[in-house]
Structure formats: C-alpha cells, structure tokens
A and B are shown apart, each in its own frame.
Chain A
Amino acid sequence: MTGPFLPPLLAVEGLTTIFPTRAGPARVVDDVSFHVNEGECLGVVGESGSGKSITFLSILGLVRPPGRVSAKRMIFAGKDLLALGEGERRAIRGRDIAITMQDALTALNPALTVATQITEVMLAHGRARSQEEARAAAIEMMRLVGIPAAANRLDDYPHQFSGGMRQRIMIATALACRPRLLIADEPTTALDVTIQAQVLELIAELRRELRMSVVLITHDLGVVVEQADRIMVMYAGQIVEEGACRAVIEDAAHPYTAGLLASMPSLDTLDRPIHPIRGQAPLPGPMPAQCRFFDRCEQASEACRIEVPLRPFTDGRTARCIRLKEGSHG
C-alpha cells in the first residue's frame, strides 16, 4: 500500500458526461470525483446503467459523439490529461492506462488473428522493435494469462477460442505494454464460476507481479470484497458512497449500499436472507432536484427533496445521504 504523501496515480475531479436523450440531456456521469493510488485496487460497484463503464471510457477519451465529456481536473501520473492533445492522449491509451471491455466475446476483432491483435499494441507504443520481438512477447503474455500451447495458437482467430480463453486474450492484450493502470470492466461476467475465480486470481497475481493499479468494475460485491482496497458505489451517474472496502462492507453508510449488500446471495461475514432493493433505477434523462435514490429508499423523507451533496463523515469515508451525521459511523 502507498504512503499518505505519495500523490495518487489518477485523480479526477468534477467529471461529467452528457448524452442527449429524447427527454433532454442525460448526465450519465454527474460531477464524479475520485482517485486511484499507486498499486491500489479500487472496486466500482452499482446496478446496470449507473455509469460505471462510461466514467472510465470518459477518462480514456473514448466517448463518442453526441456524448460530451467535461471535467475540472484529470491528472494521471502527474500529467494533466485535459491539457493533452489527441496524439498524446492516444499514446497513454493502451500503454499506461489499459482497459478490458465488459464483453470479451465482442471485444476481439473477428477478422484478425490473435497475433495481430496482441502485437499491434506493443508495436504501436514502441514496446517491441520488430514483428519477431512482438510475437515472442505476445507468446509470453499468452502464457502469463494461462493459455495452453500459446506458440501454436498465436495465428488462430478469436472464434477458435472458448469464451474464457477469449477473456484471457483480451487481458493479455490489455497487459501487453505493462500498463500502470488496468481498468477491468466486469472481468467475470459471462464466465462460469471456476473460470471466474481463475481470472480474478490472475488479475490479483499480475497486480502484484507488474505492480499496477487496478480499477475493478463489477455488479458483484463478492468480487469486490475479495480484491479491492477501496470501494466506490455509483447510482444514477453519481458516486453515493466511497471508502475503504472493509469499512464500507461492514457498515454501509448509504441506504443504497446497504441495499446492495442485502441483495447479495452470500457473504461470509453476514448471514441474512436475500433482500433485493425495491423498484428500479431511474432512466437516463433530466433528474428532479432531490436525492436520486428517493423513490426506492425505505428511509426517505420530505427532507430528502434537495440536491444531496457528497459529504465526508469519518475515516476518509464519504457518502451522499442527509441522514449522515459527523462520526455516526466508524
């Protein structure tokens, strides 16, 4: 873990991403601020549509028009991402910040061999000087992620691999340049349970080995509990709670986080029946000036009909709920 005086690897302030919808502009990422420390694993959780993927695609500069991204501050490894030109942003993508896509089955190009798709990253970023060197490195990468007979399979096409193997190939591609930050977007969905565990173990191992930071995006709180140092909970485009993983899991401050925990199938520290959150997340679009969780919250009151700010309360934890009192948790 990092000392308190080291600056974070990634620091984001006031990140907002807006998509036009028929109902009006939708702030699918709304004034999001957070940081990722060196060597740390940040877990990002929230229901489908809460803005997890778009948050990190925005940081990479990969949101397509008509989506619009703005931020007050975006610093990566001491560099101001907002001040960089398109070419400099591109140089960071894939080399310093890599992402594995949510759906591994569609993330690999069906028309290109695995060799092409892994080596091109290294060649594009000058991490290999020749085709041969890049191929050798690609084979090594494929071995690292546990693909059997890697050397023989380099010239195969994605459809010739199983789903789990394709996930590994995508991870190998993302890690080919030994990035400082890996954004793993739902690395375990669409995988069966044994492969899920293998892939997670693999990411944890690589984290130790390559000393990289990881952002782990997932629906699955169980995954976060095992892997993350800190956790960030998103709801309807906003961060609703953030803090050290253990502390948040053991004593959720926000009713939404508590609801997520209650709806988890099993968690060894807790033993209670599954209890899903009632209702549904709001559709993207303009939001009324009230707590966004209002309609679903069992503790909602008239006092919640204001724009609730994200407030620190204890031990470096923050949450977005009017019921928080200084020192009430922890």
Chain B
Amino acid sequence: MRFGKVVERFIGLIPVLLGVSVIVFLMITLTPGDPVQIMLGDARSSPEQEAALRRDMGLDRPIHERFILFIANALRGEFGLSFFHRRPVIEVIGERLPATIELTLVALILALAIAIPLGVIAAVKRNSWLDRLSTVGSLFGVSLPGFWFGILLILLFSVKLGWFPVSGRIGFSAEVRAVTGLLLIDTLLAGRLDSFWQALRHISLPALTLALPMAAVLTRVTRSSMIEVLRTDYVLFAEAKGLRKARVIGLHALKNALIPTVTVAALETGSLLGGNMIVETVFGWPGLGRLVVEAIFSRNYPLVQAAVLLYAVTYVLLNFFADILYTWLNPKVRL
C-alpha cells in the first residue's frame, strides 16, 4: 500500500469528523436548560452579570456563528473552562487521558495475547477438551458483566491473597519524568524497575477485567474464522507443498483468519474507551472514564462535550488504523 493512499484516506476522514462535531455541538446547544443558569448555579447574580457571561460564552450570537467558533476553538483544543475545576477542559482531560490509554492498551494486548493462541488451538484441535473449555470460558466471559469480574478479581487476588493492590494507580514519583504519560513505559525509560513493577501491579487487575470479556469475544471470532480458513484450498495446497505445520497454520491460515479478529478488536477497543467508566470506578483508576462520570453527574457540559468529541475522534481513528492493517492482511482490499 502506498503512502499517498494513506494520506488520501486520512483526508477522507475530515467530513466524518465534521459531521461528528455538528452532532456534538447540537447536542449541547439543543439540550434543555440555559447553560448560563447552570453555570451560575444557585449563586445569586445580577442580570448584568448574566449578560456578561452570555457574551463571554458567545451565546448572544446566531447559531451558525457559534458553530464556526466552536469548530475553530475545538481545532485549537479550546473547549472552555471546566465548570467544576475552573481550569481549561483540555488540561483536565489531558491529565486523565494517559491513564485511560495505558489501561486500554494493556487490556487490548492482554486480550489479543489470550484470544489469538486460544482461538487458533481451539480451531486446530476442534472438539478437544481445550476447545470445549475455551467455548465454556468464552460463554462466561461474554455473558458476565465486566465489573462483576473486577470485583471477583479484587476479592480473590487483592483482599484474600494480597498479591495486587486493591485500587488506584501510582503517581509520578520525583524520579520518573513524564515522557509518554504511560507509566509502564516512563518508568522503564527512567530505568526504575521498582516503579515499573509497582505500576504493573496496579494495572494488572483492571486491565484483566477489561481484557477478559474482550478476549472471550475475540477467541470466538478467531476460532470460527480459523476453522473456515483451514478448510480452504490454499491451506490444502500449502500442506501439499510439504511445509511445516507451524508455517501452514501460523502464516498461511492465520494471516487470513486474523481479518475478522482485527475488525472486532478495533470495535471493541473503541467501546472499551467508553466502557472504561465502570471498571475505572470499581478500581479507582484515575482515567477519563471516571472523570466523565463525575462530569455527567455535576452537569459539567464543556467537559462532557470535549470528552464525547474525543471518543468520536478516537473511534474514527481506530477504524482508520484497522483499515490500514487489513490491507496488509488482505492485499485484495484497496484503500
């Protein structure tokens, strides 16, 4: 795939993102209730104060002007002040985002590391005890709610066995500089193995909680696509060439079988970023999910607006990356 194609495809995302911003803008604009009143809350205020705030927020201008202003501001990362924190929204989100990204990434890697080998083995050794076990396990994983898993894990590994901390994430200690914002990487960059170990212990249970239901789905997807691929002529032909079984399965079959897995993983990762809210709350993980939950309860509109836009952009970008990955897995797909 050529670089030019990738750029072209990326530019094609702009209308989608524009559409999303219109929806986010209208969502807030059309919500019943006067933002000025909400912002001022119960505090007594004079009509002059109200008018000043209205002007400040640009609410006295016609709607199309407000939209253009909204877009212009959004492009500069300006979403106004968070009502509650009295600080720019983008700053508040920026503080919480790395924790969520780190949790999502670790969960994704964990899910793939469980699902791909398990799905492949289940497909190759169909109807074996391992296949049956993975079927039952997946059924549990899909049907049980994620937080329930989380609570179970906390009870077993943290409370009873004491292997993992009950909740939270270690903060940046003085020695570790924030480079990526991801503690697992930053601690390694700083050469602080002890802090790395702590970070790992903290992230293990919440990541596992997010990963298990996802792994359950991905195992099923990988297994069924692998079974289908193993029946194809090209796998038979690969065997007829006298290749080793590992190559036939690990290259010829898997490269084709992973296509549905990638699709589903991208979708799941998107919903994971949103669905984090419960798990982050259960584990006291200082991420975006928990922030948004708090913001919704306190009607912190600018923050919710920015977060929704961020989710949407992330979702679109995830699908973009999944598409690029397809073209590598399946060269017939043209961007």
A169 nearest CB across to chain B (Å): 11
Interface segment out of the listed B6-14, B195-203, B232-240 = B232-240
In contact, A106 and B241 (Cβ under 8 angstroms): no
In contact, A110 and B242 (Cβ under 8 angstroms): no
A297 nearest CB across to chain B (Å): 35
Interface segment out of the listed A91-99, A193-201, A221-229, A267-275 = A91-99
In contact, B234 and A94 (Cβ under 8 angstroms): no
B249 nearest CB across to chain A (Å): 13
> Which residue of the partner chain, among B238, B240, B331, contacts A110 with CB atoms under 8 Å?
B331
In contact, A125 and B242 (Cβ under 8 angstroms): yes
Q: A91-B242, A120-B243 are contacts. A107–B237 as well, Cβ < 8 Å? A: yes
B256 on the interface (CB 8 Å rule)?
yes
- Select from chain A the residue with minimum beta-carbon distance to B258: A111
Chain A hits for B240, CB < 8 A: 60, 62, 93-94, 98-99, 101
CA gap between A57 and B332 in the complex, in Å: 29
User: Which interface residue of B241, B247, B252, B256 has the most chain A CB atoms within 10 A?
Assistant: B241
- Select from chain A the residue with minimum beta-carbon distance to B234: A109
A170 on the interface (CB 8 Å rule)?
yes
Interface residue ranges of B290-335 to A (CB < 8 Å): 329-332
CA gap between A103 and B233 in the complex, in Å: 8
Q: A101-B237, A111-B255 are contacts. A94–B332 as well, Cβ < 8 Å? A: no
In contact, A95 and B242 (Cβ under 8 angstroms): yes
In contact, A120 and B255 (Cβ under 8 angstroms): no
Q: A111-B255, A111-B330, A157-B332 are contacts. A101–B243 as well, Cβ < 8 Å? A: no
Chain B hits for A121, CB < 8 A: 241-243
A136 on the interface (CB 8 Å rule)?
no
- Select from chain A the residue with minimum beta-carbon distance to B232: A106
Q: What size tier do the contact residues of chain A reach?
A: 20 to 34
A186 nearest CB across to chain B (Å): 12
CA gap between A33 and B332 in the complex, in Å: 43
CA gap between A57 and B236 in the complex, in Å: 10
A63 nearest CB across to chain B (Å): 10
A173 on the interface (CB 8 Å rule)?
yes
- Select from chain B the residue with minimum beta-carbon distance to A122: B241
- Select from chain A the residue with minimum beta-carbon distance to B253: A109
Chain A hits for B256, CB < 8 A: 109-111
A108 on the interface (CB 8 Å rule)?
yes
B251 nearest CB across to chain A (Å): 7
B244 on the interface (CB 8 Å rule)?
yes
Instruction: Give 17 A-B pairs besides A62-B239, A106-B232, A111-B256 with Cβ atoms closer than 8 angstroms.
Output: A62-B236, A91-B242, A93-B242, A98-B240, A98-B241, A101-B240, A107-B233, A107-B237, A109-B255, A110-B256, A110-B331, A110-B332, A121-B241, A121-B242, A157-B331, A159-B331, A159-B332
The interface of chain A, by Cβ under 8 A from chain B, is: 57, 60, 62, 90-95, 98-99, 101, 103, 106-112, 120-121, 124-125, 157, 159, 170, 173
Can you list 15 residue pairs at the A/B interface with Cβ under 8 Å? A62-B236, A62-B239, A93-B240, A93-B241, A93-B242, A94-B241, A95-B242, A98-B240, A101-B240, A109-B238, A109-B255, A110-B256, A111-B331, A112-B251, A120-B247
